[in-house]
Chain A
Amino acid sequence: MTTVDATRIKRQHTARLRRGDLLSTVVYFSVAIVLAIFLADGGAAYFTNIRDLATGVGIVTGLIGSDLLLVMLLLAARVPIIDRTFGHDTALAQHRKLGKPVLYLILAHMTLLLIGYGITSGFNPVAEAFNMIATMEDMGLAFIGMALMIVVVVTSLIVVRKKLPYQFWYLVHLLSYGAVLAALPHQFSTGMMFADGTWARYYWMAFYVGTLAAIAIFRVILPVTLSFKHALVVSEVRVEAPGVVSITMTGRRLRELKGKGGQFINWRFWAPKLWWVSHPFSLSAAPDGKSLRITVRDLGDTSHRLLTIKPGTKVSFEGPYGIFSEAARTTTKAVFIGAGVGITPIRAMLEDPLLKANDATVILRGTTAQEVFLWQETYDLCVAKHASLRVLVGKRPRGVATWLSAEAYSSGERLSTLAPDIKHSDVFICGPMQWTDLVVREAKRAGVPDHQIHAERFEF
């Protein structure tokens, strides 16, 4: 039994690694193909004399920039294979990582072509910009696209540093679709790389159409149809602690919804002053085919309105997303470490049938005993799974960067004493950002390989 499960987990892990390598390879190939098309079209000619050099490099940066921009869009498009392979958060982290390089590539594209074409026509680059807008097809739009792109990347960088509210970022981010669409025409009308009749044109068209279709399908059509199909309605709101409620939703044909405990869903509650924002919350119970449950803490923003939500409220959703679930397992043993509401996805994961008796270690943390949310349920599941359970209650010590409570810290407890077998376990960590980072750091120090560490950080 255990060996069967061990094989299954191992196979699932290998398959995920293989998919990951395959997808990464596709990205490398896409860059290579784009360059190959350029070369096949005689692009090397640009590099044979100094006067064409700027134009040549400008074209190449534009091509690579466009290619990676589409990769960025796909990474954020909630494509199931990407989500199941890398996880939602990793995919979005990659998306963010590409933001600046892509902006620089496209800025270089613009600047170099202004210089290159300027040399040919005898204008300085600024005059050449006006010349291009006046004389070439779709260039006005292309410059608008460039401006939009700068706005999107700059606001994203600022929001990540938390100077702008999330909703503002969201609205501005919608402009990125405008940027891509505005830049699209000039690539096909003026950009000779996509000239009529060349197969490069069809390759790029397929790439663009495919990407836009993926966005339309996975970000719009699928969530809308699933929301209509399941017609979720709030059925119960239970107060777990002051400022914390569990919301249970029922709906039609929920057996067909492929969700796993620990995954998250973007929820939209159709109640006054709530419907216009969607909230990402993890499932706090494994879906049982009849209902879905989340546990929500008042974080001060619109989420405090969720505490008083009425049964009967209609709910639409996008998801489930993420691989903070059994999908990330690499080995049979697992250590779960949760703090506050971070306990709730862990509680859902404890229901995982792949998790066998004696294989789990559960470490829970709360500043007060009341903040060990879903305590009773979690305790019962730990008993059922013969899991080793440790609860660390109390404030963290002052002046020490630790994720432990002061009491546990001073009595010499460490990750390795709380979970002796951690090196050979999957470690699932869920809690506030900084706390989670501290746990991850200690897990790495304890010798846990990176691929066994699965962390979910909340607070946007």
Chain B
Amino acid sequence: MRARSAFFAGAGSVAILAIGWQAGVGTLLSSLPTSAPVASGPSASAGNATGTGTTGTTSNASSSPSTSATAPMASAPMAMASGAADGTYNGQTINTRYGTIQVNVVIAGGKIADIVAVKLTDQGRESVSISNQAAPMVRQEVLSAQSAKVSNIGGATYTTQGYLRSLQSALDAAGFTG
């Protein structure tokens, strides 16, 4: 290869990688659990986040955070210790590369009493087995921390993050402020 062509091939390859990297940063940011509370309008209505402004959520990994910036947390009327009324709240459906995830949260006595996984990542049997292992671990962490802001489960990044995002949206719907 002549020097000029070698330079062109090298520079071009670096440029392609840079584009991929840039696109990847967006993907990663959008799939991380959003630290800003995800509010879904007049949420507490039926405690059903999927019924309100978040139906058919398209927070696909690549389409950046679309729901996170809607409205600053307008705390729900019922104020218990955590600001959440008892009941079951549905979380958003989160799309990840490995399929969709949705969890419901059960609030009892103002605390996170249980988390029910409605749907877990299921594309490819490997991700099913990852989900089945990771979900109980995340659930346990959340129950003890009483927050959706818990550490990642190694080897199940996508599952964990989708799980936590869906959970956070359910907590927001409940008006749970921790």
Residues on A facing B (Cβ under 8 Å): 17, 20-22, 24-25, 28-29, 31-33, 35-46, 49-52, 55, 116-117, 119-122, 132, 135-137, 189-190, 192, 195-196
Are A21 and B1 in contact (CB-based, < 8 A)? yes
Residues on B facing A (Cβ under 8 Å): 1-2, 5-6, 8-10, 12-14, 16-17, 19-21, 23-25, 27-28, 31, 61, 97-98, 123-130, 133, 152, 154-157
Name B28's contact: one of A17, A42, A51, A136 (CB within 8 Å). Answer: A42
Name A39's contact: one of B6, B9, B17, B61 (CB within 8 Å). Answer: B17
Q: Which of B20, B21, B129, B154 has the most CB of A within 10 A?
A: B20
Q: Given the complex, which residues of B lie within 8 Å of A50, measured CB to CB?
A: 154
Main secondary structure of the interface of B (DSSP, over half): helix
Q: Given the complex, which residues of A lie within 8 Å of B152, measured CB to CB?
A: 49
A136 to B152, CA, bound (A): 24
Name B124's contact: one of A21, A41, A136 (CB within 8 Å). Answer: A136
Are B124 and A190 in contact (CB-based, < 8 A)? yes
Q: Given the complex, which residues of B lie within 8 Å of A31, measured CB to CB?
A: 13
Name B155's contact: one of A25, A41, A116 (CB within 8 Å). Answer: A116
Q: Given the complex, which residues of A lie within 8 Å of B97, measured CB to CB?
A: 41-42, 192, 195
Main secondary structure of the interface of A (DSSP, over half): helix
Closest 10 CB pairs of A and B: A36-B20, A51-B154, A120-B155, A21-B5, A40-B23, A32-B13, A39-B20, A42-B27, A39-B24, A32-B16
Given A40-B23, A52-B157, are A28 and B17 also a contact pair (CB < 8 Å)? Answer: no
A49 to B9, CA, bound (A): 32
Residue ID in chain B nearest A186 by CB atoms: B124
Q: Which of A21, A32, A35, A43 has the most CB of B within 10 A?
A: A32
Given A28-B9, A32-B12, A52-B155, are A40 and B27 also a contact pair (CB < 8 Å)? Answer: yes
Residue ID in chain A nearest B151 by CB atoms: A49
Residue ID in chain B nearest A49 by CB atoms: B154
A28 to B155, CA, bound (A): 31
A25 to B5, CA, bound (A): 8
Q: Given the complex, which residues of A lie within 8 Å of B156, measured CB to CB?
A: 120
